[in-house]
Amino acid sequence: MKPLVALLALCVLTITHAAPDTWGKSPTATDDRFSNPQKPLYAGPDGWWNTGEVRAELNDARKTPYAYKGSFTLVSNEFVSVGGPAKLETVLFDFVENGVPAPGDYKVTAKGSLKNKTVRISFADQAGGKIREWTPTENAGVLTVKMVHGFLYFTCRDLKLQAVSSPMANHDVANSILTFGFEGALSPSEVDSYEKK
């Protein structure tokens, strides 16, 4: 009887203990070949190598989720992540001025500026023949930029983005707020490819 009670108590503790909110994951191995930056198979910090992850939720009745792990790269000197089921979801990190952001915290606002340590983050979904886009509310949150083993590492959580209404927008999410998070890293070679205009 005592073993059964102990097993039930262990099950209850396991169920009530929330799993940590983990983002990224290096491939597993019996040694450090993927987690050691000195090894040729290094997978990047937390497994991010020119990739990133989006987790977002719309404040509609269905609590529509957006979630993908996709590319994270430089396109014409813009920091862009693309993913989703049909590769039609995009994130743009706009610092406005030319240059790679230095490590630090950047306030997410309607207008980015490297000099002022601000960034404009937009998320767009073009699936289903509709154009949906969300941009920052004022004081939407913070993007943290780190340099980890030469990788440019971006993280943000719980940003508040507002649906955009424009002549191009053909959506059903007017006035909605998207709670948005992102994590990803650019490899040293990708960062080095940034061209000064």
63, part of any domain:
yes
177, part of any domain:
yes
Name which of 190, 195, 124, 126 is nearest 154 in CA terms: 190
Residue-range definition of the domain harbouring residue 160: 48-192
Q: What is the CATH number of the domain that holds 86?
A: 2.40.128
Which position has the token pair 């995009």?
90
Rounded CA separation 184/197 (Å):
25
Rounded CA separation 194/99 (Å):
8
For every residue of the chain, DSSP letters joined together read -HHHHHHHHHHHHHHHSPPP-----PPP-SSSTTT-TTSTT---GGG-SSEEEEEEEE-STT--EEEEEEEEEEETTEEEEEESTTS-EEEEEE--SSSPPPSEEEEE-SS-BTTTTEEEEEEEE-GGG-BEEEEEPTT-EEEEEEEETTEEEEEEEEEEEEEP--TT-B-S-TT-EEEEEEEEEE-HHHHHTPPP-
What is the pLDDT at residue 193? 83
Inter-residue contact 14 to 7 (CB < 8 Å): no
Inter-residue contact 49 to 150 (CB < 8 Å): no
Average pLDDT, the chain: 83
Read off the pLDDT band of 134 (50, 70, 90): very high
Inter-residue contact 162 to 119 (CB < 8 Å): no
Read off the pLDDT band of 153 (50, 70, 90): very high
43, part of any domain:
no
Query: Mean per-residue pLDDT for 163-187?
Result: 81
The total of structural domains in the chain comes to: 1
8, part of any domain:
no
18, burial (CB in 10 Å: exposed 0-12, middle 13-18, buried 19+): exposed
Read off the pLDDT band of 15 (50, 70, 90): very low
122, part of any domain:
yes
31, part of any domain:
no
Read off the pLDDT band of 138 (50, 70, 90): confident
Give exposure, 79-104, as e/b (b: 16+ Cβ within 10 Å).
bbbbbbeeeebbbbbbbeeeebbeee
16, part of any domain:
no
115, part of any domain:
yes
pLDDT of residue 124 exceeding 80, the answer is yes
Rounded CA separation 170/8 (Å):
53
Which of 28-37, 63-72, 109-118, 169-178 has the weakest average pLDDT?
169-178
pLDDT tens per residue across span 28-75: 778 887 888 888 888 888 889 999 999 999 998 889 899 999 999 988
Q: Whole-structure pTM over 0.85, yes or no? A: no
